[in-house]
Amino acid sequence: MNLVIGDNIKLDIRKQGINGEGIGYYNRTLVFVPGAINKEKIYCEIVEVSRNFAIGKIVEHIRVSKKRVTPLCKYYEDCGGCHMQHIDYKEQLKIKQSIIKQALKKYTTINVDELDIFKTKGMEYFYKYRNKSQMPFKNTNFGLALGFYKPESNHFVFVDECINHHDMINKINKLTLRLLRKYKLSANDAENTSGNLLFLVTRYLEKTNSASVTFVVTKYKESLKKVAAELMKEEPAIKSVSFTISDKFSNLIVSNDVNIIAGQKWINEKFDDLDIKLSPNAFHQLNSKQMEVLYDLMLKTVKLTDKTIVFDLYSGIGITSILLAQHVRKVYGIDSSKASVSDARENAKANNIDNIEFITGNVEAEMPKLIKSGVKPHVVVLDPPRKGLAKPVVDAIIKSKPKQIIYISCNPSTLAKNIAEINHLYDVVSIQPIDMFPNTASVESITLLKKR
């Protein structure tokens, strides 16, 4: 490589990367430039050099893309939570379809041009879609604050209103912050290790006008009871206030049991004609409107009969299992979260569904056990975390040979790697990208695979 930090170079941007950055080539060296758009010509300064690539920052535009727009968020340049708010939304949707194609070309031997990779299903209004926020606390010169840390840095960005959060979440967060300041609670950070506040987790479900607030703390303080009481008095939508003690050895924000301070154990959600209960620490799709699109597509894509046995892996609070159970003989749902499985059982019971068995445990361990006991699936539905499927899960799929696989993915790279592992047995029938997270580089998709 002949680039060094500080170099100023002229660069043609050839495509968008998986994190929304622009990509160009300088003397065959890959150069990633955050904020750059395909077909732009720029001057950029090299800020990082690695063995196989370099990272640059825009110094000046020589040619500006017609797809460039002015971001609505006043924190966009500093926050880093969004990656593509400077790109026209229709172009964002095209980029997300392209990211899936790039991943398949990189990790599989499939002829991508012959695949049905459909256009990304976007949103009519692509802001204010998130039904949950997880924001760190920080002690600042102007008092206790909420915000985000700029990616790969310790730089805290105060954010009083996130444009991707539902309006009610922003409202509740402001109210909560005001009350915490009133009772003189402080953040636990590098400058003040005596504070107890780490994160504020807020969830709001529009259909039922229900919200939950969870404090992630180093230790519980009685003054949180007063905060909880005033929260519920001032904002009737708040039905549940809780706290959880942080596990410093875990990378999860909520890693221990949640304890109710005031209100209910659950908040309620409506999905079609289903009544759903949701605990503060259970998994739920973050975009309620696109969740409906996702589940509708799943049911239209997969072929089911009253003799079908389904494995619903990473089953969460059971919505997928319940929807499938209405069309099949039996569903086995597996999830490692005790809170999610507890909610799933309650939800099945509340909706009079009795042909589901929910299992608590890691999919890697529980799926092989289920197969060994003699249960073989006709259909496997997968909604794994970003890291994709572990080898024991892939091996169990190959061993049990289900006729159909529905793979709901939030990471095109791991989706492609997993497809490569089973491609000798399964054909990719179709891939439908769904924009669950507008303005970000996150790509959700639903893939149908059929046994050869």
DSSP per residue over 213-241, as a string?
A: EEEEESS--THHHHHHHHHHHH-TTEEEE
Q: Which CATH architecture has domain 132-278?
A: Beta Barrel (2.40)
CATH 2.40.50.140 fits 8-68, yes or no: yes
Q: Which two tokens stand for residue 366?
A: 């529980």
* Higher pLDDT pick, 19 / 13: 13
What local confidence, expressed as pLDDT, does residue 199 receive? 96
What local confidence, expressed as pLDDT, does residue 2 receive? 81
Cβ neighbourhood burial of 30 (10 Å; 0-12, 13-18, 19+):
middle
Tell me which residue of 36, 44, 32, 35 sits closest to 8, measured CA to CA: 44
What local confidence, expressed as pLDDT, does residue 1 receive? 57
Q: Domain map of the chain by residue range? A: 8-68, 112-122+286-451, 132-278
Q: What is the mean pLDDT of residues 262-278?
A: 93
In the three-class reduction of DSSP (H, G, I as helix; E, B as strand; rest coil), residue 191 is classed as coil
410 as an active site residue: the answer is yes
CA angle (227 as vertex; 226, 231 as ends), nearest 5: 120
What local confidence, expressed as pLDDT, does residue 177 receive? 97
Q: What is the mean pLDDT of residues 193-205?
A: 94
pLDDT of residue 285 exceeding 60, the answer is yes
275: CB partners within 8 A, 6+ apart: 268, 347, 350, 351
Backbone angle region of 263, left / alpha / beta, with phi > 0 → left and psi within -120 to 50 → alpha: left
Encode pLDDT of 351-396 as tens digits: 999 999 999 999 999 999 999 999 999 999 999 999 999 999 999 9
Give the count of beta carbons closer than 10 Å to the beta carbon of residue 57: 14
Q: What is the mean pLDDT of residues 393-411?
A: 97
What local confidence, expressed as pLDDT, does residue 272 receive? 86
Q: Which CATH architecture has domain 112-122+286-451?
A: 3-Layer(aba) Sandwich (3.40)
**8-68 and 112-122+286-451 in the same fold:** no
Q: Give the CB-side neighbour count of residue 141, counting CA atoms within 13 A.
A: 1
Q: Please give the mean pLDDT across all residues of the chain.
A: 95
Catalytic residue among 44, 73, 162, 410: 410
pLDDT of residue 251 exceeding 90, the answer is no
Give the count of beta carbons closer than 10 Å to the beta carbon of residue 427: 13
DSSP structural state of residue 287? B
- What is the DSSP pairing of strand 156-158 with strand 143-149? antiparallel
